[in-house]
Structure 1
């Protein structure tokens, strides 16, 4: 592109994202300023008209860049012809609050005019958590073109394509667009390119609402107004969601590139013109994913090496096809490496969670105020709109009239379910009794070898014997779910089905399911199943992420999700349960089982405050919830 000018000196940039008559001659003036040097004059160009002093109502685009550790490094603000990049220091300077007030007044909370950004909810939360500033009338660009909260629908390129539509006089540089949104880092080693990338992200955000399809689409968009929400609520959202500072830092600890291990790669038999290759992955951890952008390195017969960019177009088990724009394969070339350049996309569960945060920031506080799970787990000792959350409250309708929650006893005798529980020791029996109670939350901690899986299997027998239904057995990993399934077989319980992702099963781990194959349903079979196919199934098993599958309700119609038993709960961040709390109104009981001393959620070695359910004091210690509601319940370390 162009060599960047020093801070304080404007530089003209020619965008390279869109080829369109309206933008051929545009030169975007880039101005870089340190946060300590922000002045009213620096930013008033975005809020008032030069010469007249009238307030500006035209759209502004904003974008952010992060350090390698995931901290906020820069904010870009752009109109159609200018972009100001504000770079932030760490630690924060003494005058940050004063400077941020200027930023709010002239940009983030203008009296008129909208802000446009990709993933605007995440951006708004970042600005609050790191700078303490709020936004007014911020529009999330991807949400304008689809209401779906699943990650596959939220790619920036898809939104840009939808906005510009199909036109002979418009061509999108898809490679460049993918590149600037895939890598949001902003570091000194590549500061020239990073400044151009953050500028282009802000600039294209600005022009979309005034271009063709965008004019009508954006007119009905719901704005994000964190300025109307209390700092307390924003802190709660920030602490409980993937967009929080800690979770964002974890995502930046993960590699942006994957060097795929493969046993074979050759010209595709289906490619007549040599524009694709077939590759056979040899390691599950580095397996191929559909739509990944990859750089493939070839070696010529002469020994020279060349690189070509491509995209994964097909994946089945270990087999994948890579497509290229031009012919790449011939008899005198061999494939040396295939490296994907994309950071892993959010899972469906993460997409739903992010959607919940976005809807809340857009003003929908219903779920946050009325959902018993969220109020009692996430909002304990907090207030929302003046409502006291200092004590836990569950709907009266959740408790059978014959056994109100205040009279629940954990001293159930063994004879109540003698055939299944005679082998349990005293601590296991206590745990089982509480699982069988109507109280909504049971928390069980158990070191390795203490019989957690046996307790789960026994619970299934006893719960069904007592007439309970709606049992789903869940874990973070496929292996843990499989272990529970095998324990059910050992106890001669057969009325269950195990839901498994084909991506995990086929070609990779099908041997894990040899003993239980007749109970396994692959994700590719979901669409063909009916209630009749599932008759006789009284319990379902799956991973937590599987509950985000778009077809999961085919199974919850057969066995409603009333009681979730979660194994490996110490490995799961609290925010990962939001999907269950929000989507399944039938849920009345959750049993959390795990050992927080062994396997905490990913990233806790590097990042503080990534909490599992075991780090929620009022649940873990039973000091408030269990002591008040019924006789004190304590599970010893021998469980």
Structure 2
């Protein structure tokens, strides 16, 4: 395309009149004269900067702005190679011109929102570096959370200065291509206009600028990869979510009060979101009301909603859904802060020896490792050879073992390794008196499982930190009795170190989720001061993308001596890996992965304490199932020890009439659900401990409804496969759902989780024709082929109770 010029009339600021001259051109068409003309319009040394992003978050355009002019540069994502014999300009010449004349020119200060994203994108996609780049949201204008509408408005001069609706439209990251072209110009110009503020010169002195030219390639590439991964993950988040609410509701003037029914679809306060309530009167016309979340406390939510008293009295809520992106979480904000700290060289984040190994792939051992730790095991329960090796590696004070990775296939006793390591460290007064042990996982449920294991072996000298949002009114029942005395909810966090010392009561072992470590209150309450993060053990580490550890190093890295990662890269991957394929857990970091210890025996021990200690061996998978998983997933490295040797421990139910159907963004199979309920009724009548698992939320929700209708317990009975990793049950019922397309089954890691949860039996409801046909190459198809025709039951068998 040739260079184009046009004008734009900004409407963001209330007191601005005039127009903006915009020059649009390809990067290859950038010339010294065009650059000189643009820079001549600068009335100060500040340039506004904004970027557009295309497929997979690749930076596709850059806009630079002065008071009256904008330079809109379009990048070719795959520019042609330079022809040495040609005298004409090439994209490389233009890129060098952009670099030297503007981006790295110290005479001009650049100002941008999402400065970490812009600077990393320029390097990752085009090897361009930038100097004197100020992050607009780091300007100390107010205390609003980064990325929120309140922060945006404050940085731009306040609500009295701008038209809020236009601001939200211009800074909306979900714009279509035809809308984005003008919006990115207005973003760059609005960012430049921040420099006109009376206190700008004073504010900018408090912010360190980004100079990517002073960072070496390896460090900058590692940071850019972390930023790009976060961008792509954010793009996967839904911007329209159906919120499950109870049928009954109440109203007050301008307010609607509803009861939430599912934690994962709960309403959340967020100033970038709008709530839409669909109502009907006597089942007829549907009316849509728009509002915002006023407050949420447990299952109760109040909405700011304009609904007449007459409508409220007659209307019935048909649907409530949330539109728009969520506000950033503490963990996401902490990740950005960590990246900005390194880009501005405020901190040498990747200089930490342990971070160096993880992100830069280089061995850099500290000279002051945990020499106090000796590989002496203090644990009363049985350990097999692999478990003992893992525990000794964890306890070792050798600097080369400052990072320990343990791969544990299903049922091999990962939590036993954690428990034995904790009791051993707690038995060393010289260690536990000076250091702390933090046990963390991706989810609260995984953390709870570790806590239960510690209680099982008689170790109670720990504290369990749980967010109030997760605990109150939603999951309190999970912590009652055995864990209640150890729990500290975030709404009960002490306000000072003295009160925290009382709450800890001498505990030097703390359990919490990884995201909890990003909460500022962890530090301000004094938890990390009284229990330093010397040793951090991460469970279910295969589900955590390595960029999520950046806040750990940034906030708590000073005293960090030992990192232990426990998980299994043959089970669930980090969220988003199925869509992106580029995410890495610690198991994909080559220099760390090659030293992983493999737990090779599928048999877990449990210890219960009363007046005296007693042991019980709880075998995980029946031998035929365990041997199949070993052959097909673990290259025959996994050994099984189980009293059940019969293949009848796994049966297939042929639901020939079942059909997969869309259920919102998920899938449902009504006939499969009916068959699963019949099996569940039988197990319930026999007093058997069972769970139902399925790959799809639509099916899980439908099965729960059927369980309620059948009058049998439904809470904590049916799970999505992804939420059931790390869990088990005597008897597992599986509803596969799919009958036309392979879908979920194409992922062998998730299929491995689905097929490895039972301790005594597994009943799989699916279509025989589908499994033996379209799904024959999947892990499930391979299992069905190996079990053969004799493993199949038909609908009549289920109806007759013959299973």
Mark yes or no: TM-score above 0.5: yes
Structure-2 residue corresponding to 1:234: 220
Deviation at 1:481, TM superposition (A): 0.7
Structure-2 residue corresponding to 1:384: none
Distance in 1 between the 2:221 and 2:4 partners?
37
1:525 equivalent in alignment to 2:497:
no
Residue from 233, 249, 259 that aligns with 1:280: 259
Structure-2 residue corresponding to 1:374: 355
Residue from 573, 579, 585 that aligns with 2:551: 579
CA gap 1:377/1:555 in 2 versus in 1, 3 angstroms: same
Structure-2 residue corresponding to 1:450: 412
Deviation at 1:264, TM superposition (A): 4.5
Structure-1 residue corresponding to 2:343: 361
1:347 equivalent in alignment to 2:326:
no
Structure-2 residue corresponding to 1:537: 507
CA gap 1:452/1:635 in 2 versus in 1, 3 angstroms: closer
Deviation at 1:534, TM superposition (A): 2.2
Instruction: Point out where structure 1 has 5 or more consecutive residues left out of the alignment.
Output: 1-5, 50-54, 382-390, 627-632
1:556 equivalent in alignment to 2:528:
yes
CA gap 1:300/1:611 in 2 versus in 1, 3 angstroms: closer
For residues 372-403 of structure 1, give each alpha carbon's deviation from its aligned partner in whole angstroms, at most 9, with x where no partner exists. 2223332344xxxxxxxxx4321236424xx8
Whether the aligned pair in 2 keeps the contact of 1:265 and 1:278 (CA below 8 Å) is no
Residue from 137, 142, 148 that aligns with 1:142: 137
What are the residue-to-residue correspondences of 1:177-326 with 2, within 5 Å?
177-183=167-173, 185=175, 187=177, 191=178, 193-239=179-225, 241=226, 243=227, 245-264=228-247, 268-269=251-252, 271=253, 274=254, 276-292=255-271, 293-299=273-279, 307=288, 309-323=290-304
Structure-2 residue corresponding to 1:387: none
What are the residue-to-residue correspondences of 1:560-639 with 2, within 5 Å?
560-584=532-556, 585-622=558-595, 636=600, 637-638=637-638
Structure-1 residue corresponding to 2:469: 503
Q: Secondary structure at the match of 2:48?
A: strand
Distance in 2 between the 1:502 and 1:130 partners?
41
Distance in 1 between the 2:33 and 2:240 partners?
41
Distance in 1 between the 2:487 and 2:36 partners?
62
Residue from 416, 431, 436 that aligns with 2:395: 436
For residues 532-587 of structure 1, give each alpha carbon's deviation from its aligned partner in whole angstroms, at most 9, with x where no partner exists. 13214342111111111212133233433221111011111222222222322232
Larger mean Cα displacement after TM superposition, 482-491 or 605-614: 605-614
CA gap 1:59/1:265 in 2 versus in 1, 3 angstroms: farther
TM-score by length of 1: 0.82
Q: Secondary structure at the match of 1:542?
A: strand
Structure-1 residue corresponding to 2:680: none
Distance in 1 between the 2:248 and 2:60 partners?
40
Deviation at 1:93, TM superposition (A): 4.3
TM-score by length of 2: 0.66
Instruction: Point out where structure 2 has 5 or more consecutive residues left out of the alignment.
Output: 82-89, 601-636, 640-803
Q: Secondary structure at the match of 2:494?
A: helix
For residues 340-373 of structure 1, give each alpha carbon's deviation from its aligned partner in whole angstroms, at most 9, with x where no partner exists. 333233332332222122122223354433x222
For residues 214-266 of structure 1, give each alpha carbon's deviation from its aligned partner in whole angstroms, at most 9, with x where no partner exists. 34322553221113333333113223x3x1x3332232222233232322575
Structure-1 residue corresponding to 2:151: 158
What are the residue-to-residue correspondences of 1:28-177 with 2, within 5 Å?
28-48=20-40, 57-94=44-81, 95-145=90-140, 152-155=145-148, 157-162=150-155, 164-165=157-158, 170-177=160-167
Give the count of matched residue pairs: 576
CA gap 1:317/1:294 in 2 versus in 1, 3 angstroms: same
CA gap 1:199/1:319 in 2 versus in 1, 3 angstroms: farther
CA gap 1:195/1:634 in 2 versus in 1, 3 angstroms: closer
Whether the aligned pair in 1 keeps the contact of 2:208 and 2:346 (CA below 8 Å) is no
CA gap 1:558/1:282 in 2 versus in 1, 3 angstroms: same
CA gap 1:592/1:219 in 2 versus in 1, 3 angstroms: closer
Whether the aligned pair in 1 keeps the contact of 2:219 and 2:360 (CA below 8 Å) is no
Larger mean Cα displacement after TM superposition, 610-619 or 287-296: 287-296
Residue from 454, 462, 472 that aligns with 2:424: 462
For residues 91-146 of structure 1, give each alpha carbon's deviation from its aligned partner in whole angstroms, at most 9, with x where no partner exists. 44444333322322343233512111012122101111112111121110111116
Whether the aligned pair in 2 keeps the contact of 1:571 and 1:599 (CA below 8 Å) is yes
